[in-house]
Amino acid sequence: FLTGLTQPTLTVRPQSSLFTGDSVTLRCEVDQSWYGFKFLWSKDSNTESTEAAMKTIDSVKVSDGGEYRCRARRGGLYTNYSEPVTLTIYGKYFAHIMNSIIFCSFKFCLLLSFIFLSDMMFKQSLTKVGWI
């Protein structure tokens, strides 16, 4: 392990809760006085990929959600892993329901939420049988 660089800081912009189609940037930061690092990223403790210090996803999908960590490598020396950052991605139907809740009364919101959820499940069932 690299002495003096035990753990990078992982930051997320603009935030860790997003809707599908949003853009997000993860940044792995180490002491600025060190150069020549390669950064290793992992998602949900799966295989690491070597990339730059910044990882941008231009149009997030629900499958992009999960727990991210990073660490830095220089030669055969590695830092510890960063603290994890969890990305939560909400689908479009969730956004529609949240918008309906913000702009309506309680009873009407329940009705709208039921209509949106019913529409979503109906479309998913038609898709599975190949009708859409």
pLDDT, one tens digit per residue, over 11-53 is 999 999 999 999 999 999 987 656 788 899 999 988 778 889 9
Strand pairing report for 54-57 and 77-78 = unpaired
Nearest in space to 89 (alpha carbons), one of 32, 21, 4: 21
Alpha-carbon distance of 123 to 127, in angstroms, equals 6
> Hey, what amino acid is at 38?
K
**pTM recorded for the entire structure:** 0.67
Residue whose entry in the numeric block shows the structure tokens 């990223």: 41
Alpha-carbon distance of 41 to 50, in angstroms, equals 6
**What CATH number has the domain spanning 9-90?**
2.60.40.10
